[in-house]
Structures are given as C-alpha cells and as structure tokens.
Amino acid sequence: MKKDNLKEQLTLFRTNTETDIPKGDSTSTSDEIELVSFRELVPEIKHTGYLTHAIFAYPAKFIPQVVRYAINTYTKEGDWIIDPFAGSGTVGVEAYLCKRNAVLLDLNPLLKHIMPLKIYRGKERLSEGHLYKLLDGMRESTHQFTPAWSNIAYWYAPEILDVLSQYWGFINNTDDEIYSTIIKSALLKVNKRFSYTEDRTPKLAKSKRKLKATDELLKENWRQQLEEMTRSLSLKTLRDLNDFMIHTHDHFEHLGEVEFHSGVDSSYYSVLRECDALITSPPYLQAQEYIRSTKMDLFWLGHTEKEIQELSRLEIPYRKADRQIRTETLDKIRKRLTRDDLQKRLDSYFCHTVNALENSMNQLRPNAAACIFVGNPRVDGIIVELWRILAEYFTVRGFVFEKVYEDKIKARKLFGARKNKNPDGMKSEFLLILRKSAIYQTSAQRCGPSPQDKGSPQHVSRKSPDSDAS
C-alpha cells in the first residue's frame, strides 16, 4: 500500500490531538462517530437475557443487541463469523438464531460448559416432573464431590460445603446429561451465593459484608433456602431451554453451525477456515482477569489447580508483551504515563489484544467486516480511546476504516467505593467497523515462541455441528 493512501486513511480520524481530558468526560468530538442506541435499533430483542443468554453469570457480557445489529448489517445467511474473545458465547447464540455459523475461541474453559445449554438442540420439551425427581434424589444422595482446590475450605462454612459436595456428588453420578447440566448451571450460582465470596461483584474476594451475611444465614433455615434457590434456578433454566427449542423448532434443520474451542490462546490458535466477518468484544483494559473471576465455577466443574494456574498466567495482567504496539494515539498516552507498572500493563494489553484480533482477522475473506466493540477506559486518569488505537493500527496494515458507532451506557452496575480516577465508569461504548481490503497482507510471524512451545495448557477444543452444542 502506498504511503499516500495510508496518510489519507489516517486523516479519516479527525480529532483534537491534545491528550488532555475534555471537560464532561467526552471521549471524542470526532464527527465520524455516529451516535446510536443498539437497543432501539434492534427492538426485536426485548431484554439482554432473553432465551438462554442469562443462564450463566459471566463478567462484562457482550449484549446481544450489538451482536444482532452487526450480524444483520454485515453478514448474510450461511456466513461464518469468528469471535476470538467468546466469553459467555453471545456471538455463537446470535449467529445460530440468525442462521449464520460461528467459530468461538476463548482462554476460559468455562465456554465448553456454557455452550451445550445456551445452544440447545433438543427436539422435545424437557419434563419439569423429571427435573423435580432428580432434585428430590439429590437431597437424599450419599455421593460426595469436593473440588480439587487447596483453598476450598477458605471459601465456605463447613456445613454448607458438606451439602454442596453432596449435591455435586449426586449430579456428577447422574446419567441424564441435559438435566444434570441444567442443575449444574443452577448450582454454580448457588455455590457463589452461599460462599464467603462477595457475590455482588465478579471477582473472587471475601468481604466483611458477606462474612457477616453468611454468619446470619447459618442461624436461619439456610439449607431450605439453598434447596429452594437450586430448585427455582433449575426450573427457570429448563423453561428457558424449552422456550429456545420452541423458538428454533420451525427452523431446526436450517440454523447455524457453531464450533467452540475453549482453554485456547486466541493469539496463536489456528482456525482452519475462511470467515466472512469478525464480531467480538475484547476484554476491558482494567478488568481482564476472567479466569480468576470464574475459578470457583471451574473448580466445581472438575478443573484442576494446575490447569487453572497455567491458564491464569496467560491472562493479560500476568503476561509480558512480546512486542510493542505503536500508533499515534497510543504513543501519546505512553508519554503521559509516569508509572512503570502502568506502562507494562498498557503494553501487555495492546500486544495480546492485537495479537488475538490479528490472528482471527487474517482468516477473513477480502471485503469482510471486522466489528469490534470496546469502551474507552482511563489509565491513571488518561482516556484511552481503544477504538481509535485499533483503527490506527489496522488501517496501516490493509484494513479500511468504515464507521464507528457510539452507544451511550444507560445503566451500569458499579460496586462499592471506587477509589480510582474514574469513579463513574465509562460513559459510552463503541462499535468499530473495519473492512479487509483485497491487498491485505497476512502479518509477518511475531517474534518469540508461541505459548504452546512454552508448555502452555493443552487445547480443549470441541466442534459440534451434530452434537448438543451446535
């Protein structure tokens, strides 16, 4: 690509190049941004947890309205969509419902437990009576299962841990796969609610409030409350699956195919197919510890400390950058940072986020759209325009900037006293649209061995066009 063309592309981002934070926390005044409300643009989705989207709790979920808009606008039926930061599988569910196909990648092995329920392919209604029979049997079980977690007793009162171990022991010895999976999804929420961890925040952390609440609970009929919560959540999930089955029944043979690969490093994992679009939401700059946030779930689901520790080392806060990403906006931010730890965090974030995006974007066909949904967080009080940095990086490598949408956040959930320089959280999120040009050149090999060469965890991958997950 000629340098003249590159310069012309970069001038698309008309902006004040000063790095001072504008008054009113406006993240950009650029006139290329289109202000939208994705909830209004996609009125057919009435709430973010419709059908199976709310079955599993997961930090910073990708809202389905954004995904549906990108699917409707930038793909057609039968297209393949790739998501290198699949999280709780929102892109997979929406692709399936819209008769598209999807490849989902995520470092967190929770994805392989999520998708068989979120994309339920049963042809007959599930029986509430059968579910109740299993739940009744669970109360009388003599089986025991205790997670292989050296700190398990730190997080539970002994009598609560004993009951949870009994429930999980029963369900792990049950052959009715779909019903046992439904109950497991309920128990994951019960596990956290009846633990010492603060269940109102994503991260695993004891709190004085929760310790006090648990002590008070133990003086009450806590076991009845635990049983009732397990029963009500299991019943809700069963009904959600029946609604999903009814919703998809008329189109059963013509829905999408979904492949999901969990426990994999998206920066290096090879996807052996061309794709027609990328739709993804990378992890937040200041909150990327998804393994830590969900490790209680992972232990109860049978994962080992060794496996979880190895995966945790691949999360951004604990992983060194293997190259430095350079763009005009990012370089200006670096110059303003005075703390070495923040410099390293910034370099690590952009290195591994761009590596994963680039690895997947290499698989896109010419003229395919890359739809990247991000916020503009702050680092030490400095606004980091993620969409602009990613646009600057990829437009000099053969992608064409098409559009950026701004969706103002109308409701947010912030926890506790926030002692940082952005106590109100982000004001907006942005959907960046890039197009892959016909002259795009696949990136040169990055320096350094891949994590696989360093003894990283074995890939857990699963392709399921004819299984319970497609």
Q: Mean per-residue pLDDT for 191-218? A: 90
Q: Mean per-residue pLDDT for 375-383? A: 90
Say if residue 445's pLDDT is above 90.
no
Across the beta sheet with 275-280, the strand order is: 33-36, 399-408, 428-436, 364-375, 275-280, 80-83, 101-106, 258-262, 460-463
Model pLDDT, residue 250: 74
Model pLDDT, residue 461: 33
- Residue 438: pLDDT band by 50, 70, 90 thresholds? confident
* Cβ–Cβ under 8 Å, residues 196 and 155: yes
Cβ-based neighbours of 460, under 8 Å, separated by 6 or more: 109, 112, 261, 262, 263, 264
Residue 406 amino acid letter:
E
Per the listing, tokens 């779930």 go with 297
Per-residue model confidence as pLDDT tens digits over 57-88: 888 889 999 999 999 999 999 999 999 999 99
**Bridge partners for 275 per DSSP:** 364
Domains, the chain, ranges and CATH?
A: 3-113+256-443+451-463 (3.40.50.150), 128-247 (no CATH)
Say if residue 449's pLDDT is above 50.
no
- Residue 111: pLDDT band by 50, 70, 90 thresholds? very high
Angle, CA of 238, 243 and 249, to the nearest 5°:
120
- Residue 400: pLDDT band by 50, 70, 90 thresholds? very high
Per-residue model confidence as pLDDT tens digits over 282-333: 998 866 678 888 999 999 999 999 999 999 999 876 789 999 999 999 999 9
- Sign of the torsion angle spanned by Cα atoms 319, 323, 329, 333: positive
Say if residue 427's pLDDT is above 90.
no
* Helix/strand/coil for 30: coil
Global pTM reads 0.85
Q: Mean per-residue pLDDT for 94-118? A: 96
What percent of the chain shows pLDDT beyond 70? 82
3-state helix, strand, coil in the chain (%, to 5): 40, 15, 45
Residue length, the chain?
A: 470
C-alpha to C-alpha distance for 252 and 340, rounded to whole angstroms: 54
Model pLDDT, residue 83: 98
**Helices 208-218 and 158-171: angle between axes, nearest 10 degrees:** 80
More confident residue, 5 or 319: 319
Secondary structure (DSSP) of 43-61? TT--STTTTTTTSS--TTP
What percent of the chain shows pLDDT beyond 90? 68
Per the listing, tokens 């053969």 go with 398
Q: Mean per-residue pLDDT for 115-141? A: 94
- Residue 31: pLDDT band by 50, 70, 90 thresholds? low
* Helix/strand/coil for 62: coil
Which segment of 176-180, 265-269, 313-317 scores lowest on mean pLDDT? 313-317
Per-residue model confidence as pLDDT tens digits over 324-350: 999 999 999 999 998 998 999 999 999
* Cβ–Cβ under 8 Å, residues 167 and 138: yes
Model pLDDT, residue 411: 58
Model pLDDT, residue 5: 40
More confident residue, 133 or 317: 133
Model pLDDT, residue 171: 95
Mean pLDDT of the chain: 85
Which segment of 164-178, 323-337, 449-463 scores lowest on mean pLDDT? 449-463
C-alpha to C-alpha distance for 365 and 408, rounded to whole angstroms: 31
Q: What is the enclosing helix (H) or strand (E) of 211? A: helix 208-218
Model pLDDT, residue 130: 96
